[in-house]
Chain A
Amino acid sequence: MTVLTTRTDDERDDLTVAVPTGDLDALADELDALYHEVRADLGAADAAYIRRVIAAQRGLEAGGRALLLLSRYRPALVGGVALLTVAKILENMEIGHNVMHGQWDWMRDPQINSTAWEWDAVSTARSWKHAHNFRHHTFTNILGKDRDLGYSAMRVDPEQPWHPIHLLQPLYGVGMALTFEWGIALYDMELDSVRRGEKTAAQARTDLAAFARKAGRQVVKDYVAFPALAGRRAPRVALGVLAANVIRSVWVHTIVFMGHIPDGAETFGEEQLEGETRGGWYRRQMVGSCNLEGSPLFHLLAGNLSFQIEHHLFPDLPSSRYARIAPRVRAVCERHGLAYNSGRLGRQYGSVARKILRLALP
Chain B
Amino acid sequence: MAEVGARPRVPAARRAALRAARAFFTPLLPDDYLELINPLWSTRELRGRIERVDRETADAVTITIRPGFEWVGHAPGQYLRIGVAVDGVHHWRAYSITSDPGRPDGFISITPKLLDSGVVSPFLVKAARPGAIVRLGGVEGTFTLPDPLPPRVLFISAGSGITPIMSMLRCLERRRGLDDVVHLHSARTPQDVIFATRLRGIAQSHPGMVLHERHTDRHPRFTPADLEELCPDWRERATFASGPGDLLDALVDHWGAEGDPQRLYMERFQPVISGDDAGGGAGGTVRFLRSDLQAIADGGTPILVAGEEVGAVLPFGCRMGICHTCVGRLCSGRIRDLRTGEVAGTEGEVVRTCVNAPEGDVVIDL
Q: Which residues of A contact B (CB under 8 A)?
A: 42-48, 55, 58-59, 62, 105-111, 113, 115-116, 118-120, 214, 217-218, 220-221, 225-226
Q: Which residues of A contact B25 (CB under 8 A)?
A: 221
Number of A-B contacts (CB under 8 A): 65
Q: Hey, which chain A residues are within 8 Å of B24, CB to CB? A: 221, 225-226
A-B residue pairs in contact (CB < 8 Å), sample of 15:
A47-B85, A58-B33, A58-B36, A59-B36, A105-B2, A106-B88, A107-B85, A110-B1, A110-B3, A110-B45, A113-B2, A217-B23, A218-B27, A220-B23, A220-B26
The answer on a CB contact under 8 Å between A217 and B26 is yes
A224 CB to closest chain B CB (Å) equals: 8
What residue in chain B is nearest A45 (Cβ atoms)?
B88
* A110 to chain B: closest residue by CB: B4
Interface residue range, chain B: 20 to 34
Cross-interface CB contact of B2 among A55, A108, A218, cutoff 8 Å: A108
How many whole Å from B88's CB to the nearest CB in chain A? 3
User: Using Cβ atoms and an 8 Å threshold, which residues of chain B touch A106?
Assistant: 88-89
Most chain A CB inside 10 Å of its own CB: which residue of B2, B3, B90: B2
Give the residue name and chain of the A residue nearest to B4 (CB). A110
- Given A110-B4, A110-B45, 10 other A-B contacts at CB below 8 A? A47-B89, A58-B32, A108-B90, A109-B2, A109-B90, A110-B2, A110-B90, A113-B2, A214-B27, A217-B26
Q: Is chain A's binding surface mostly helix, strand, loop or mixed?
A: helix
The A-contacting residues of B in range 13-29, CB under 8 angstroms, are 23-28
Q: Which residue of chain A has the shortest Cβ distance to B33 in the bound complex?
A: A58
CB-defined contacts of A218 to chain B, threshold 8 Å: 26-27
Nearest 3 pairs of A and B residues by beta carbon: A47-B88, A118-B27, A110-B4
Distance to closest chain A CB from B236 (angstroms): 49
Cβ-based interface call for B87 (8 A): yes
CB-based contact A107/B33 at 8 Å: no
Which of chain A's residues has its CB closest to B36's CB? A55
Which B residues touch A44, using CB under 8 A?
Answer: 85, 87-88
Residues in A whose Cβ lies below 8 Å from that of B88? 42-48, 106-107
| Distance, CA A111 to CA B4, complexed state (A) | 9
A115 to B26, CA, bound (A): 17
- Least Cβ–Cβ distance between B68 and chain A, in angstroms: 15
Q: Which residues of A sit under 8 angstroms from B45, Cβ to Cβ? A: 110
Most chain B Cβ neighbours within 10 Å, of A58, A62, A119, A220: A58
Contacts of B27 in A (CB 8 A): 118-120, 214, 217-218
| Complex-state Cα separation, A118 to B91, whole angstroms | 24
A43–B87 CB distance below 8 A: yes
Shortest CB-to-CB span from B265 to chain A, Å, is: 34
Contact string against A for B residues 81-123, beta-carbon threshold 8 Å, 1 for contact and 0 otherwise = 0000101111100000000000000000000000000000000
Q: Give A67 Cβ to nearest chain B Cβ, in Å.
A: 16
